[in-house]
Every structure is written in C-alpha cells, then in structure tokens.
Chain A
Amino acid sequence: MSVALPIETAAALTDARVLLDRSEPIVAARDVTRRYGSGDTAVDALRGVSLDVHPGELLAVMGPSGSGKSTLMHILAGLDQPTAGTVEIVGRDITRMSDNELTKLRRAHIGFVFQFFNLLPMLTAEENMTLPLRIAGTKVDDAWLATVLGQVGLTDRRTHRPAQLSGGQQQRVAIARALLSRPSVLFADEPTGNLDSTTSGEILEVLRQAVESYGQTTIMVTHDAKAAAIADRILFLADGRVVRELGRSTATEVLDALREVTNR
C-alpha cells in the first residue's frame, strides 16, 4: 500500500512557496489565548500557547479532556478566532482575515480529516475526493488522482458511495480528499476516534506515508497513544498551556508522558 517516491518528485509536489525557504514554519502560533464568556463565568480554554510547525513535520497534540487541544486545533485551522494572539499559515496572519480570504486559503493551503469522516452521502468515493478541487474550479490531474487512490488503497472502490464503505474505508476517502489538493498543512481531528484498533493502524499508516512520500505537513489532535506514536513531535496540553514536548516516541512512552501530564 505504500509508495516511495524519489525525493525530487516529492519536493516538486510540495507548495512552491515553502520550497523557497524550507526552514520557515508552515504554521506559527504566538500567545494564542481563547476565552469563553466574560466576567465571573469566563472560561479560559487556552492561555497563551505558542508553537511552530515545520514543513514536512507530523505534529501530534495530546492532552486530557478539557486541556484545550481541540480548541487549539480549531484556531490553528482557522475555524475559530482566538481572543488574543496570532496564527500564521504560510506566512499569512489568519486571525485578521475576512471570510473570503479564509475561504481562498482553505482551497489552496488547508486540508481536513474529521473524526466522523464528514463525507457527502450522495457522492461516490471519487466524487467526494475531488470535491475540494471542483469547488475551487481547479482541474483534476488524473494521474495524481490515480496515485492517491492507490496510496489509500481504494482504486477498486472509487465508484462506491459512503454507505457501501466500511468506517476505515470512509476515513481513507476523507484522507484522500484532503491529500488530493496538496495542501500546505493537513489538520486531522481525532482521525482514529471512530475506528477500531486494526483499522486505526491502517489509517495511521496512510497518514505517515503521506508525510514520508511527499512531505505533507500534518497536525493531528488525538487522545490515542498509538496515533501519537507516528508523530515526529508531540505536544502535551493541560489547562490551556503546553506543558510537555516529546520527539519521536513509542506508544508506551507517550502513555507515560500523558499520565504524568494528567496527574499534575
């Protein structure tokens, strides 16, 4: 299922802007704060989080429930606005962008994988995958489409509707959908949250392959230690702050760190 591409091709497939300076972070957050409500009943979901995500990196964000990890991802992805702080994607400040500018950004630079797949039930797998491109009015490169289909292992199922696919297959369609437009950064929100452990493993392999093959920058929020184990870097959140950072780790090491963070 995995396809290894020569590094030159991989580089050519990444966004041209990033090629200019490969040390520039794709996503940069500074002092992001998110407060809900006001006065006595205010809740601070994030209290000044700063981070950089480098090109070709798979970053995992973990933490106990209430740690603010989902909130952080929503803000990094432009789905939510921070109360304070800035977020830059490919060097552009998304916290000051209008809805139209954000929409354009989503077409070119952002890919999503959701926990509940979020496929359109009346479209085939292939149609679901090409949807973002068609929305943007971009022509679909059939060779690239075939490649991605092969990558996620769904070549035989391209004409099937979501109802005819298993959970794992649906999530693979979702990942293909995100990969097809070659976004600068791919956000994955609990991608294995709705899958059993075997299927989860397959999905994680696909995600990792994308990083290996074409240097797809990926930010993943998860509570699953196995998922975090495929990441290059793992950030741990607690009470709205980054409290721990790990490099490449095994699932066991992740679990230990998580336990320690939770018990603070």
Chain B
Amino acid sequence: MTSVALKGLFGRKLRAFLTALAIVLGVAMVSGSYVLTDSIQKAFHTLFSSSYANTDAVITGKKLVDHSSSGNATIPASVLTTVRSQPGVARAAGVISDMSGSNLTAKLYDKHGKIVTGGGNPTMGVGINPGDTEFNPMHLTGGRWAAGAGEVVIDKNAADKYGFSVGDRTRVAVDAGVFPIKIVGIAKYGDVESLGGATFAVFDVRTAQKLFRLGDNFTGISVQAKHGVSAQSLVEGLRTVTPANAQVRTGVAQAAKEEKDVAGFVKYIRYGLVGFGLVALFVGGFVIFNTLAITVSQRTRELATLRTLGASRRQVLRSVVLEALVTGLFASIVGIAAGIGLAVGLSSVFNALGMALPESGLLEPRTILVPLVAGTGLTVVAGLVPALRATQVAPISAVREGSDASHGRGGKAGPVVAAVLGSVALALLAYGFLTHGISVPRRLLALGGGFATLFIALAAIFSRLVRPMVKVIGLPFVRAGRTSGRLAWLNVQRNPGRTASTAAALMIGITLVSFVALFGRSLRNADTDAWKSQVTADYVLTSQNGWDVFPSGAADAGRSVPGVEYVSHVRGDRGRVGRSNAGINGVDPATIGKVVSVQVDGASFASLRGNEAVVKDRFAKANGIHVGDTFTFRGPNGRPTVLRAVGLFKAPKLDSLLSAIVIPNATFDRALPRPHDQYAFVNVRGGVSSATTAALEAAYSRDQIAKLETRSGFAASKSKWLSSMLSTIYVLLALSVIVSLFGIVNTLALAVFERTREIGMLRAVGMTRRQARRMVRHEAMMTSLLGAALGLPVGIGLAALATSGLHSYGLRLSVPLPSLATFVVLSLIVGVLAAVLPARRAGRLNVLAALQYE
C-alpha cells in the first residue's frame, strides 16, 4: 500500500505540486523570518562583543530610569583616578558612549547643508581619547583620532555615502547645539561589514563631554587587568570603588547586557513575522484539506477496488495519510529553501533602500526544524479527515460506474461542531479583546486561539450556508451570464461541502484583512482626534522623527519671524517617583495655557512657580498623591527634587500630550541632567497662513533639527506610524490571500478534470469555447464572493468587538462603504485570477476525447 500511495502521488505530479504550493509559501515565510532575524541578532552580538574585546572590566552608570532621554547615570571623573590606583589595574580610560543610539546623538551636515539623519538608524556620538585605542573597537582607515575641540572621526560607510574625506569641514548637531567641525579621520567598526545605516562620530573625551553636556563625567570607565589577573577578580577588586549609581561587570558580561537591551526588539519582529507565516500556513491547511478531500472522492472507485483486493480500512487510512505526509515533507523542504532565499533577497532590498540592518549569514537548527515540523504536521492533520473519509468508501463502490463525488453537506455533525467551536471561539475572543490587565502574551494567545477556532467553526457550518447564500450572490451572474452563468450557479451548489471548503480559505484572508482595516481605522481616528483635541496652538515643533526629544535652543530659530507672538517650549524626560517610572514635562507657565487644551483641577498651569507641580489624575491616584502633598522626583542621574502637587489634570487615556508630572521649565532645567524639548508650540498673530508657514520653514531649515507642522499636520504625523504598520500588516496578510488563491485554482482545476465528460457533452450540444470559459470563470467568482460574503461580516463583527473593548480610549467603529467595496472587488479579482488556467483548459477540451473520457 505504501508503494501504491507513493506511485499515486508521482503519477499526479502536477496536482501534487499545486497542493504542495499551498504549504510552501507559509513555510517559506516562517523560515525566512528566522533567518533574517537571526542574522540581525548575530550581527548585534558581533557588534557588542567586539566593543568590549579588549576590556576586562567596565564600570557603567546604572539605568535608574527606563526610557529616559537623558540616558543612564554618569560617573564622576574622580572615580577614574581612584580606579587607576587600584591593584590589578593595568590601564583604565574614561569613555563617552551609548550603544542604544538614542541618548548621545551626533548628526552631521552633508555637503549640501542637509542634515544626515541616518534614515531612522542611530547616529551615535562617541568620546574616546587617542591614547586609549586598545579600548576603541574602531580602526582607522585614514587620518588620525580626534585630539581636540572641533575635531571628529566618522565611520567609513557614512564617509562613502555622503562623500566626506579627511580634512573636510562641516557642522555637527548635538545636545548642546550646532557646532563647526573638521573631519580628521575615518574609521571602521571592528569586523562588522555594515552597521546597517547607523553612523558614528568620534570625538575626544573632553569635547564629547562639552557637546553632550556631561560636565566632568563619563558614561563608562573601561579597565584592562594586569598580566595574570583574571577579569572576574578585577571586577571583585573594583567593587569598592564603584559609586552607588554605577555597576562593574566583566567586558563579556557588559557586552551581553548591552546586546540584550539594544537587540531585545529583534525578538518581537521575529514573533510578528513568524506569526504571519503561521497564518499563511493555517490557510494552507484548509487548501490541503480541500484538495485531498476532492482527490479522495475522485478516487472512490480506485479505493473501493483496493478494498475488494483485501486492503483493510487501516491500510487505506495509512496510505492517504502517507500521501499527506510526503506532500507536506516535500513542500516544507522546498519552503525552507525558498525562505532562506527570500531572506537573502529581502536584505538586499533593504540595503538598496538604504534602510539596512546589520547582518551576517546564520543558520540555526531551529530555522529548519520549526517550519519542517509545522508544515509537515499541518499537512498531515489537514489530511486526517479526508483520510478517514477514504476509509468509509465501501468496497461495493468498485462496481459502480463513473467517479462518485460525494455531496458533502457536512452531515449531522457539522452544525453541532460549529456551535461548540463557535462558542469556544467567542469566549476566547471576548477574553482577549475585552479583559483588562492581562499580560500581552496571554492576550495574544487567547486571540490567536480564538481566531483559529472561529475559522474552523465557520468552515464546519459553511457548507450549510452555501445554497442559501449563493441564491442571493449568484443573481447577477445568472442574469449577466445567461446559460453559462446559470450553469455555473448550479455547479456551485452541486457540492456545497466542496464549495464551502474552497471559499473558506479566502474567507480567512478577507476576515483578517477587513478586521485589520476597520480596527486599524478606528484606532487611527481615535489617535488623530486625541492629538488634535489637546493642541490649540497654530504650529507645533517636534524632532525630525516626531518622537525623540530635541535640543531646546532649536525651536527659538523661528522667534524672529514676523507675526510670531511667542514660542512655548515644553521639556520632556522620565524619572522615578517612589517605585514608579514617571514621565515629566517642563512648561512655560505664561504661554502653555494658550497652546494646549487640558482640564486642570486646582491651580492652573499659568500659576506654577518653583517646585510646584500639576500631576495627571491617574498617576496621582495610582501613587497616592493628593493636592497639597509633596513627593520626591529622582532624575536619571539619581538627583532628587522635592515637588509639591498643586493641581491635578485630566488627560485622555490614549495619547496624552503631557506626561504624569508638569513643572515650570526653570525647575525642569535644574532637576534633569540634560534637559531637552519634547515639543515647542508657536502662536502667530492672525493664525496660520501660507506666508507665515513658508517663513517659519525657512527659519528652521538651516539647522533642520526641529520639524514644523500645523496643528492638524502634527496630529496626522503622530498617527503615521499606525498607517505604516497597517500597510505592513496588509502585505503580510496578502500572503495568506495568495495561498487561498492557489486553493481556488486547485479546486477549479480538479472540478474541470472531473467534469471532462460533462463539459464535452455541453460543447457537443453547442456551447462555445468562450461560454465554457465563462462558466468556469463565473464559478470561480461566485466561490470567491461566498468567501467574502462570510468573511466581511465576521471581520466587521470582530472589529466591533475589539473596538468596544477599547471604548474608554476613544475608539469608535466606522465602516466606510468604499472599504467594503474594495474588499468585494478584491475577492472578485481573486476569483478571476484563479479561473484563468482552469477556464482555458475547459475551453480547449477536445470534444470527442472528452466524451469518451472515463
């Protein structure tokens, strides 16, 4: 029986291949995602380990506050002297660096005066002295190291890309402002070929301290041990001289910690990509199920014959399962190879777009195993029901004439299964969408399980719905298509089970796409509204990327533009209050009330003086702060500031403009080590006008540090990330839609094959080739529409459920008709595309041969 199964597969190579294709795509995506993210992670690893290659121990400031724009605590210069005098220390150097790339940014200006932003990649500033090269992971490829004020060494990639050479003069934008600079050297980072798009600018320590407003402090002290002293014992020895706000680690341990902090995000990208691959695989499972079910029913006579020859039910089961196993295995292997190729291709695309991420080739066992097991396992599971059906074929079917396509209405079990699974699915989805305060992994698990169960439940009931639904959906086709249309309409109803399982694959794609579109839309609307409602100023200034903080001087460039009444600075950073991590804003009490709209109970913003603070009501409640209470705020360097709450303000749950604590700018500048602006607002006499906008843009274009926007432009920009993410999700879901397209092609091809004699008869009695093609095409379109007809309401329903869960964040469901129309058109296109080849085949049938077809 094994050889029968295998020979059967090879005998029908094309069909087996098309079936396998459904799995290949999903597997490719999973394996490709692994390869891509693994490479990125490996590159980060190489990066960090080479940073500390020659360092036996390193003292770094503690991260007292998460996500602070001022970075970690710093280390006073006096510590360096103490360290140098310790036994076991051969050399020690003070260093300024931040591998996260977010706290010490140095942006150069290119030959055209345009600021080099690195395309979203970090533009890192580093401070290290020329005499400390053993602690320097970079190697000069030309020139020398920076040795004084106004000197810088830049990385080779940036030099090549922007045409810098040794001796060039330009400017650099840093914390403290914009300064002229001369390039005295070009360097490469360790062994890494490409740091992605990241650039770095290396100054000497004194200059870096000044440019980044670090006073006499270092971000780290790198230490080399005397010969014979181990790194670990050096660390032990240095513990006594390490200040309270710092920690000492071996070089290796420090590299590992930094890698984890910086490259941690790669994990999430991996989960996301693999997740979408699994969705595509899931849809592929439906296609496999469908195809196998059809081929089993087409082979009724063959299977019955085998039974009459003495094959037991178990042998028949095993043979069909074996077919599924071999198909799945083959498809998975092809998919893994394709995925690896895809990852290589994707990285070239990223490179070409200038958005490279650092990478080096890597192949982990898990990259092969997971997709292999998932792809093969899924195929076997999908093939179980058809295999079981195959065992039900009675031997007597061997004597019956013609292929016996079962009428598959789903039997009695269908509605019961659907009801049970549907309830489970709804419970899971409600839990995932509506419950507050559960962890993200748990939520995702509930939602994932809920969606999967829901789709299976819908598939179980779908066959019952085919006839009633198609009576409505089919009307336009019956009218427009006349005979072909009517025949197609009848064909679709002939075997509701088969039609349903074909349409189900597309239904999944449509449900997901419509859910994402509608939920994403309501999210974006709420987002934009939230931002817009809080801002009353004419213009808003932010950093170039709209989210980072920026130097406070930058916003003043527009002060001199005629018509400008004032520029209102809002500082921003984070610190700690008690155990909580709290955001803090500094405002200009005189003008803040005129540029933002926030409801305050108690004292107003305008009255803020000294250490008075207005606190966000939710934060106050969570931390037990009442009006009149004092509390201590600790900045990222540990410095405490005592504040007194004089008022509470109400903020929207979603996208609050202001953070938990609001104090006057003067107090902010004293409390925080390196104050930056988070926003700046500009009000103009007479409001927004194109002339004023042009003048302001010109003012800020010199340094290109601050970005100017109108109120509504600002709201839209803040929501742009959502649109980008939605587009990315659409692309990732498109894969699933393509898989379902293959499913429809497969089914149609099999149906045409099965009805060869019938189509031959129709042609013999006068149907033209065109009519035959139209018949097949209409059948495809009706099947696709069925998928959409079930998928859209489900997608809308789910979006409604999700939106209601986030009602308190201001989300409202809106279902625009153009979007719905788009999805309907999309499914029609899928149907037309799927029909191309099968329709051609149907039209091309040789009538005589077809009539004699057995």
Contact = CB atoms under 8 A, between A and B. Distances in A.
Interface of A: 70, 74, 78-80, 99-100, 103-104, 106-107, 110, 112, 114-116, 118, 120-123, 127, 131-132, 134-136, 177, 181, 189
Contacts of A131: 4, 306, 309
Given A112-B308, A132-B309, A121 B301 contact: no
B305 interface: yes
Of B3, B394, B395, most A-chain CB atoms within 10 Å? B395
Contact of A122 (B8, B313, B398): B8
A79 B307 CA distance: 10
Given A118-B301, A120-B302, A123-B7, A112 B398 contact: yes
A122 B1 CA distance: 13
Contact of A74 (B8, B10, B396, B854): B396
Interface string B624-643: 00000000000000000000
A103 B307 contact: yes
Of B301, B302, B312, most A-chain CB atoms within 10 Å? B312
Closest CB pairs A-B (n = 10):
A122-B11, A107-B310, A79-B396, A132-B309, A106-B310, A118-B305, A122-B7, A103-B312, A135-B311, A112-B308
B364 interface: no
A120 B1 CA distance: 12
Interface string B386-410: 0000000011101101000000000
A134 B313 CA distance: 15
Contacts of B399: 70, 74, 79, 114-115, 189
Contacts of A118: 301-302, 305, 398
B306 A135 contact: yes
B693 interface: no
Contacts of A189: 399
A103 B310 contact: yes
B308 A135 contact: no
Contacts of B310: 103-104, 106-107, 132, 135-136, 181
Contacts of A70: 399
Interface string B401-432: 10000000000000000000000000000000
Contacts of A120: 4, 7-8, 302, 305-306
B479 to A, nearest CB: 39
Of B1, B313, B394, B396, most A-chain CB atoms within 10 Å? B396
A37 B1 CA distance: 36
Contacts of A107: 310
Nearest to A183: B310
A161 to B, nearest CB: 9
Contacts of A103: 307, 310-313
Contact of A135 (B302, B315, B396): B315
Nearest to B2: A134
A115 B301 CA distance: 12
Nearest to B309: A132
Nearest to A105: B310
Nearest to B4: A120
Interface string B283-305: 00000000000000000011001
9 contacts: A99-B313, A103-B313, A110-B308, A112-B309, A114-B398, A120-B306, A122-B11, A135-B311, A135-B315
Contacts of B8: 120, 122
Interface in B1-47: 1, 3-4, 7-8, 10-11
A114 B11 contact: no
A127 B312 CA distance: 19
Interface string B306-341: 111111110100000000000000000000000000
Nearest to B6: A122
A33 to B, nearest CB: 18
A22 B398 CA distance: 32
Nearest to A108: B310
Given A135-B1, A189-B399, A121 B11 contact: yes
A66 to B, nearest CB: 16
A122 B306 CA distance: 14
Given A114-B399, A121-B11, A127-B7, 16 more contacts: A70-B399, A79-B308, A103-B307, A103-B313, A106-B395, A112-B309, A112-B398, A116-B301, A118-B302, A118-B398, A120-B302, A120-B306, A122-B7, A135-B311, A177-B309, A189-B399
Contacts of B308: 79, 106, 110, 112
A106 B8 CA distance: 23
Contacts of A80: 396
B399 to A, nearest CB: 6
A114 B10 contact: no
A179 to B, nearest CB: 13
B401 to A, nearest CB: 7
B401 A135 contact: no
B133 to A, nearest CB: 72
Of B309, B311, B313, most A-chain CB atoms within 10 Å? B309
